[in-house]
Structure 1
Amino acid sequence: MTVDPTFEQVTQNVEPNYVEASRSHDPSNNMKRTDPFQFGSRFLEKGDDVFEFNAWDHVEPDDEFKAFAQTQYAKQRETRVSDFDRRRFNMEPAKWWDKFYKNNTANFFKDRKWLRQEFPILAEVTQKDAGPKVVLEIGAGAGNTAFPLLANNENEHLKVHACDFSKYAVKVMRESEHYNEKYMSADVWDAAAVPSEESDSLPPGLTEGSVDVVILIFIFSALAPNQWDHAIRNIYRLLKPGGRVLFRDYGRGDLAQVRFKKGRYMTENFYVRGDGTRVYFFEKDQLVDMWGTWSAKDGLQIPIGDEASAEASVEEAQPAEEPSAEAKQSAIDNGAFEVLNMGVDRRLIVNRGTKQKMYRCWMQGNFVKRGGPAIETATEPAQ
């Protein structure tokens, strides 16, 4: 019998377990990490020259950057997106991503070969004896996750469904020399689609309870907050009991957020880029609550305040009431997903030439749909 974790256990014990701190640039202690949620081991220690290396792991922003960030946030709120532009960017997000991919044909994102280490289950499903496995990548873009996954595949029974709501991105995947219909299907699909008389809101070729693994890499940040519930519901419907969600996205305070200038702020933590695409920056506890308390019956349980409607102006929005501890406990008890891990990947990137420091922050989660045994994963990351 499996005992579900309490709300306190989920929120307090989601930090990754770390091996003993090491200096990756020290040849005498340069061991490969064994915990996928360790996020590197180049620790910045007292007395170090910060500009000795290009990057450091687990570095909290210094007071100067924090003060700068708060000043930037205040300026952003003062010059938010107009009501007209907010509606324009939220009405047809696929149009802006189509333009993005058309304008970036020659410089798409690099292949995400690192995913097999961050999420060892992706190595498991591609093993020769893994058996029939279905992987759904949502927001597949130009195939920078799907194609490396297939390049390492030895499983004759693997099927990868790569979906994106940009028609142009799907066209790029289908025309790639790496596209193999035996193992892969690329289709247009909106993760936040709502069932209608014409559509059941699920991707082509997939039915309820048919997916083993869902990959969400920088996808939820592209959705408006009022779309999160629809997206989680679709993912829940698609996953088998025991199926996994692999999540990585932007964290609150990331340099990309702090750098936004005037006219880009839509609602708190939610912005529109210069190319018309949208981006949200998450808090760790927010994601734990979102996935840990969502239920098929009641949907999203976290209070999201003025983020509840991407169409509402800040003045119109009303702050949501924080639920009681008892309400949170009840929500976690009835939640559809178990939060296996939720880590904060903080890095300090430096420009050694200009002596510039850049603080980056990403969120990484691993969730399992309750109701069945979780898919087994290796104890060691893929080599």
Structure 2
Amino acid sequence: TDPRGSLSARDNVEWSEEQEATAKSKVQENSSQLLPQDKQEEYEVNAKRYWDDFYKIHENGFFKDRHWLFTEFPELAPNRNPSQNEDSLCEFSCKEVSKNEGLGSCENGHCTLENRAENQLNLLKSSPRFCTEELAPQKLKQSYEDYPGSSASYRILEVGCGAGNTVFPILQTNNDPGLFVYCCDFSTTAVDLVQSNVEYDSSRCFAFVHDLCNDQSPFPMPDESLDIVILIFVLSAILPEKMQCVINKLSRLLKPGGMILLRDYGRYDLAQLRFKKGQCLSANFYVRGDGTRVYFFTQDELDDLFTRAGLQKIQNLVDRRLQVNRGKQMTMYRVWIQCKYQKPAGPQL
């Protein structure tokens, strides 16, 4: 769930000690009763179905395009020198057209679930090996002679793309001919929504289904090929004990100097305080009424996840906002965390 709505807002709101104590008290109360273990396992096993149902119900009407993206994350609209891209433009366009013509099972960039699965299987077969969490760093890396976006000079991946509310603003705003955007989601329904959007351009974008928590689920691009990985209200939906493996996996995809951009729920956000008893799975991890799950982070927790993956902090801040709904005469305190972590440019030890 992405916070949205026509509300007036005030940024960087400081909390009083009393306000923070009240928030802590509410969290203690709503987490005093945990769901039984068998129920927790059921939500984990059926996570994909719950997100598919979510997008079938809301389609692309639930979220709004995130116009704050380029203010907060200017890395998504890099000011590149056009002369650097002129030479590569023809090569990039021709190679992508040739590649897409070879995908006879897809029309206009839209692949059925069966065809998409077959294409990903072929990618897997053509790769010597896919790294898993158990493989030592010195093992062979993923290697492809050709892959979607292989000719691009700037590659962005959004994980948990939903209906495309980040991908399409990037494609509309950034006309860099060397740009290629990948986007993936756990939900087949979400990826179908992206691929069926009239603005989906398979020469600049590749949408695919991916389970971040499954080491056998391949990415269509090799390690150290991405400039940017975007995580917007996505990491919070993952089982907490699987988060480190996920960040490690995404870190390997970054080029040296590449960056992960994250925006997610912060501890004591209004959404956390509104949960009732019986919806808590574990500390600061809850299940919503529709079966989807959400975690509420602290800055230190995220810093630990990223630094353990070998990334260096560029930004890690709490965004506290007071939103006022004048119509309902309600004040709402939102707490989000925004991070930028970079892969060191030098050799890895």
TM-score (norm 1): 0.68
- Tell me whether 1:229 sits opposite 2:203 in the alignment: no
Q: Give the residue type in structure 2 aligned to 1:232.
A: I
Distance 1:189 1:125 in 2: 30
Gaps of 5+ in 2: 1-6, 86-152
In structure 2, the residue matched to 1:188 is 209
Distance 1:279 1:130 in 2: 42
**Greater Cα shift, 181-190 or 150-159:** 150-159
In structure 2, the residue matched to 1:170 is 191
Of 240, 243, 246, the match for 2:255: 240
In structure 1, the residue matched to 2:39 is 85
Distance 1:259 1:212 in 2: 37
Q: Give the residue type in structure 1 aligned to 2:162.
A: G
Is this contact kept in 2: 1:213–1:246, CA < 8 A? yes
Of 362, 371, 377, the match for 2:336: 362
Q: Root-mean-square deviation (CA), in Å?
A: 2.0
Cα offset, 1:353, TM superposition: 4.5
Distance 1:64 1:121 in 2: 38
Cα offset, 1:126, TM superposition: 7.2
How big is each residue's C-alpha offset from its partner over 1:141-200, in whole Å with a ceiling of 9 and x where there is no partner?
111000110011221121110100100000011111010000000000122222xxxx4x
Provide the identity percentage: 42
Q: Give the residue type in structure 2 aligned to 1:59.
A: V
Structure 1 residues 162 and 67, CA, compared in 2 at 3 Å: closer, same or farther?
same
Structure 1 residues 62 and 237, CA, compared in 2 at 3 Å: closer, same or farther?
same
Is this contact kept in 1: 2:265–2:295, CA < 8 A? yes
TM-score (norm 2): 0.74
In structure 2, the residue matched to 1:105 is 59
Between Structure 1 and Structure 2, which shows a larger proportion of helix residues? Answer: 2
Distance 1:174 1:250 in 2: 28
- Tell me whether 1:114 sits opposite 2:97 in the alignment: no
Q: Give the residue type in structure 2 aligned to 1:152.
A: T
SS class of match (2:252) = helix
SS class of match (2:25) = helix
Gaps of 5+ in 1: 1-52, 296-335, 374-383
Q: Give the residue type in structure 1 aligned to 2:180.
A: K
Structure 1 residues 339 and 85, CA, compared in 2 at 3 Å: closer, same or farther?
same
In structure 2, the residue matched to 1:352 is 326
Distance 2:75 2:37 in 1: 43
- Total equivalences in the alignment: 274
Of 89, 96, 106, the match for 2:50: 96
**Greater Cα shift, 206-215 or 124-133:** 124-133
Distance 2:250 2:32 in 1: 36
Of 56, 61, 74, the match for 2:10: 56
How big is each residue's C-alpha offset from its partner over 1:275-327, in whole Å with a ceiling of 9 and x where there is no partner?
111100000122122212x14xxxxxxxxxxxxxxxxxxxxxxxxxxxxxxxx
Cα offset, 1:227, TM superposition: 1.1
Of 74, 92, 98, the match for 2:28: 74
Cα offset, 1:64, TM superposition: 5.1
- Tell me whether 1:218 sits opposite 2:233 in the alignment: yes
Distance 1:124 1:100 in 2: 33
